[in-house]
Amino acid sequence: MSTPATSRFVRLTVELVVEIEDEDVVVGAARSRIAEHAEEGELDPAERAHAEGAVTEDTAEALSYLVDPFVLVGEVPGVELQQASWSSERIAYDPDSPDWEFGEDDGDQEDQEDEEIGDDEEAGGAGHSG
């Protein structure tokens, strides 16, 4: 139920850990997606070259290029995505370690950034936004 004091906007936070089983397949899929976007006129030649270089150098960047939050919520009835940002990074993952939990990153860089900018501001970083 919505009241005047209740916002209609919701921040949905999702954290995933995936294992890259074949880096060449992920990079190839990202390069194909870039080619499609270029053919559709969504990327100029300079943007295409930059994107291809980024996904070729870093498989985490390639994965980030393939994951699309717009697709995730696009079919949800009654919801319209207003803004999204996402990123990916390589992490040390040991699900059996008592030291590893969701929400913790290996370098504590995000925690430090959050402390520096405060709770009311949004941190920038590598990734994509829309």
- The string of pLDDT tens digits covering residues 54-83 is 999 999 999 999 998 888 898 899 999 999
Are 43 and 34 in contact by the 8 Å Cβ rule? The answer is: yes
Sign of the CA dihedral 51, 52, 56, 59? Answer: positive
The reported pTM is 0.66
Confidence bin at 3 (pLDDT 50/70/90): low
Are 34 and 48 in contact by the 8 Å Cβ rule? The answer is: yes
Residue 38 has pLDDT above 80, yes or no: yes
For range 20-43, the mean pLDDT:
96
Number of Cβ within 10 Å of residue 82's Cβ equals 9
- Sequence spans of domains, the chain: 23-79+87-120
Residue 97 has pLDDT above 60, yes or no: yes
Mean pLDDT of the chain: 80
Residue 14 has pLDDT above 60, yes or no: yes
Of 99, 110, 84, 116, give the one whose Cα is nearest residue 14.
84
CA angle 21-17-28, nearest 5°? 40
Q: What is the pLDDT at residue 92?
A: 87
Q: Which residues pair with 101 in a beta bridge?
A: none
